[in-house]
Amino acid sequence: MMTAMLDPTLPAEYEDLRKAVEAFAREEVAPVIGDYYERHAFPYPIVAAMGRMGLFGLPFPSEYGGMDGDYFALCIALEELARVDSSVAITLEAGVSLGSMPVYRFGTDEQKEYWLTDLCKGERLAAFGLTEPGGGSDAGAVNTRAGNVGDSWVINGSKSFITNSGTDITSLITVMAVTARDDDGRAELSCVLVPSGTPGLTVEPGYSKVGWCASDTHGLVFDNCRVPQENLLGERGRGYAQFLRTLDEGRIAIAALATGLAQGCVDECVRYVKERSAFGHKIGEYQAIQFKIADMEARAHSSRLAWRHAAGLLLAGKPFKKEAAIAKLAASEAAMASAREAAQIFGGYGFMNEFPVGRFYRDAKILEIGEGTSEVQRLLIARSLNLV
């Protein structure tokens, strides 16, 4: 992918994947997603179709049922889905990047074989439980405890805003928990695999969200939730390091998703301004409208370059922390700005849920918050500059 910096065209296989997902989003998602969104319902048939298409297996090897692709391919798919709808895009992002990827990267052979095959097919979904009621950006402030009792881990505590944690097909929730404290009270963090339906795990009713209304998000409560000793994911005490890597990659994925939303705003507006008339002209003839759409296009394009650059570094095995933060910051703020302008161009219709731009407006805000707020991204960028 490093050649992408010199050759701005996508390699043929990525372009063909992009076209396939574009067609899927247009034909299978766009006609029906508004209804799921209105009802705050999880679109099981769409997720199953995404599974059949192999989207949940994109970055994983075929020995686990994956597609032998990479993280770049995943991001291509996320951008194309989010051009049409962010709920299905975040379901894929969280399922792969947060759910399956830690198991693939840190799991034992047995754990990988046991969990990944169904997850790669999209027949089951996995979630990652990090955020707690009292700690968002302060992600290391984990209070959930996993005590080592006999041959089990006994988990107590609660988690907030956990995507994919409560669907009918959720099989696994990876939970970050304190497994010990040293004499100074510093926490030793580890990740523990908790199968859905484990006694002592309560999945709270779904949140009433402003956006992403067709995705699945719950709070979780662990009350003496007991899982076997061997459900530890990777090395004990390495939980913090594991999730830092997971979040760095996840930022590129969210940047790709945000780019898709920004591009979706352009798509919708280009169509609309050629149909809608005001004061005797199509509104696309007015420069005030043209400039708004030109800005939207420029933002989408810049966002795309930013995430592709960060993903290119990731694939090349080079450091990408700063570039991922820049991509996430730029793309999510681009999405928010473009959604606001798209809704403005649509006028009253932009305030209606049945119009895609109404959904885009509601879906954009969370992009500046989830997987690292814009402030956290600025913190990471500033830190990379050695200002003090």
- Residues in contact with other proteins by CB under 8 A are 12-13, 16-17, 20-21, 23-24, 52-54, 58, 62, 67-69, 73
Per annotation, catalytic residue among 28, 63, 371, 375? 371
Identity (one letter) of the amino acid at 123?
A: E
Residue 63 has, within 13 A of its CA and on its CB side, a CA count of 5
Q: 3-class SS at 218?
A: strand
* Closer CB to other proteins, 66 or 350, in the complex: 66
Distances (CA, A) of 239 to 175, 222, 323: 9, 18, 23
**Cβ count within 10 A of residue 81:** 29
| Minimum distance of other proteins from residue 51's CB (angstroms) | 10
| Minimum distance of other proteins from residue 28's CB (angstroms) | 8
CB 338 within 8 A of CB 300: yes
Distances (CA, A) of 10 to 158, 253, 375: 43, 17, 32
* Closer CB to other proteins, 67 or 173, in the complex: 67
| Minimum distance of other proteins from residue 14's CB (angstroms) | 9
| Minimum distance of other proteins from residue 18's CB (angstroms) | 10
| Minimum distance of other proteins from residue 12's CB (angstroms) | 8
* Closer CB to other proteins, 69 or 312, in the complex: 69
Chain-centre distance for alpha carbon 244: 15
Q: How far apart are CA 164 and CA 204, in angstroms?
A: 12
Q: How far apart are CA 315 and CA 69, in angstroms?
A: 11
Confirm whether 371 is a catalytic residue: yes
| Minimum distance of other proteins from residue 168's CB (angstroms) | 23
CB-based burial of residue 205 (10 Å sphere; 0-12 exposed, 13-18 middle, 19+ buried)?
Answer: exposed
* Closer CB to other proteins, 52 or 281, in the complex: 52
Q: In terms of DSSP bridges, do strands 145-149 and 217-228 run parallel, antiparallel, or are they unpaired?
A: unpaired
Identity (one letter) of the amino acid at 159?
A: K
Through-space distance between the first and last CA atoms of the chain, rounded to whole angstroms = 34
Q: 3-class SS at 301?
A: helix
Chain-centre distance for alpha carbon 150: 37
* Closer CB to other proteins, 25 or 127, in the complex: 25
| Minimum distance of other proteins from residue 118's CB (angstroms) | 17
Q: 3-class SS at 220?
A: strand
Q: 3-class SS at 227?
A: strand
Q: Which residues contact 142 (CB under 8 A, 6 or more apart)?
A: 130, 132, 135, 157, 176, 177, 178, 187, 189
CB 208 within 8 A of CB 132: no
Catalytic positions, written as ranges: 371
